[in-house]
């Protein structure tokens, strides 16, 4: 069996690969294939040979609009050299099922790390929900003099906005 040092996938990489699509936390087939050390094509072939293990709530293809949105967000190629087939995404249950289809020691070790990342995300979301509930209780208890404080705390609880780089060339316009 592969040990943890053989896998060495940073937790941050796994967490960045978890996307929210259709209200579900999912991972792209290409990201999973890279982590498992196989090609996307081979991962999808293994899945297609075991279709009965992957119902719609474990894995589903992205619509054209969803795929286009991903291409726009992440700069994924659409033309020559890019993907020719629809993206497949796997829910947490689908990722767990992948370990039974991809039987390599690396696949098992990577799956363990991915499952831990999903658990950590659930814990973070749960603690935020609990904190928001407590804040609501406190807000009801105290009058308007603390409203500004509560609003500031809520702003701090929001996830940070990702900075995006502008793409393209800019020209200098002279003022007359």
The 10s digit of each residue's pLDDT in 66-103 is: 888 877 776 555 554 556 778 899 998 898 888 788 87
The domain segmentation of the chain, as residue ranges, is 4-126
Tell me the pTM: 0.61
Quickly state the pLDDT bin for 43 (edges 50, 70, 90): very high
Neighbour-count burial of 67, counting CB atoms closer than 10 A to its CB (0-12 exposed, 13-18 middle, 19+ buried): middle
- CATH code for the part of the protein at 4-126: 3.10.260
């Amino acid at each position: 069996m592969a040990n943890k040092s053989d896998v060495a996938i940073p937790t941050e990489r796994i967490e960045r690969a978890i996307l929210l699509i259709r209200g579900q936390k999912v991972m792209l087939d290409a990201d999973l294939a890279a982590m498992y050390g196989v090609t996307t094509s081979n991962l999808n072939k293994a899945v297609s040979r075991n279709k009965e293990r992957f119902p719609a709530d474990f894995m589903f293809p992205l619509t054209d609009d969803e795929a286009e949105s991903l291409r726009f967000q992440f700069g994924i190629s659409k033309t020559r050299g890019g993907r020719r087939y629809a993206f497949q995404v796997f829910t947490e249950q689908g990722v767990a099922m992948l370990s039974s289809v991809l039987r390599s020691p690396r696949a098992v070790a990577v799956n363990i790390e991915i499952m831990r990342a999903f658990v950590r995300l659930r814990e973070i979301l749960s603690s935020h929900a609990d904190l928001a509930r407590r804040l609501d209780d406190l807000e009801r208890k105290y009058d308007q003099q603390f409203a500004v404080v509560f609003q500031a705390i809520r702003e701090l609880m929001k996830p940070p906005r990702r900075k995006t780089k502008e793409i393209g060339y800019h020209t200098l316009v002279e003022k007359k």
